[in-house]
Amino acid sequence: AELAAGKILFLEDVGEQPYRIDRLVTQLHQSGALNHVAAIVLGTFTDCDDRVKQVRSHDGSLIPLRRTWPIDEAITEIFGNLNIPVATGLPIGHGGNTMPLPLGVRAKLSAEGTLTL
């Protein structure tokens, strides 16, 4: 946790359902790993939509077994209560039209959400 003190944590993912991203961030938070992080920057979450099984209702239509959790809603709920500045929507990650992110360089995140390397 002390290695992350004053650092910007970058997260992105591919193919993970929102509940798994929630579990990961909860574990990081509860372990204290996020205690001294200066900010969190979220890149792309490619193919991370909630996949819910469906069943046939009495009238033959398909209905989901539970409420779906769209990734955009999940990100707001997961990261909104951490009391850490969070910037979202940066074109960084495994999706198309993304930019490379050099690791270990000095970075600055402005209040407007601009990431400067």
pLDDT value of position 111: 84
pLDDT value of position 13: 94
- H or E stretch at 46: strand 39-46
The model carries a pTM of 0.81
pLDDT value of position 1: 57
Domain count, the chain: 1
| Domain boundaries, position 79 | 2-116
SS3 35: coil
pLDDT value of position 65: 82
**Contacting residues for 69 by C-beta, under 8 A, at least 6 apart:** 18, 19, 50
Q: Which of 51, 39, 32 is nearest to 7 (CA)?
A: 39
pLDDT value of position 49: 86
CATH of the domain at 47: 3.50.30.60
Walk along the chain (117 residues) in steps of 10 and give the mean pLDDT of each run. Answer: 82 93 94 92 90 89 86 91 89 86 88 84
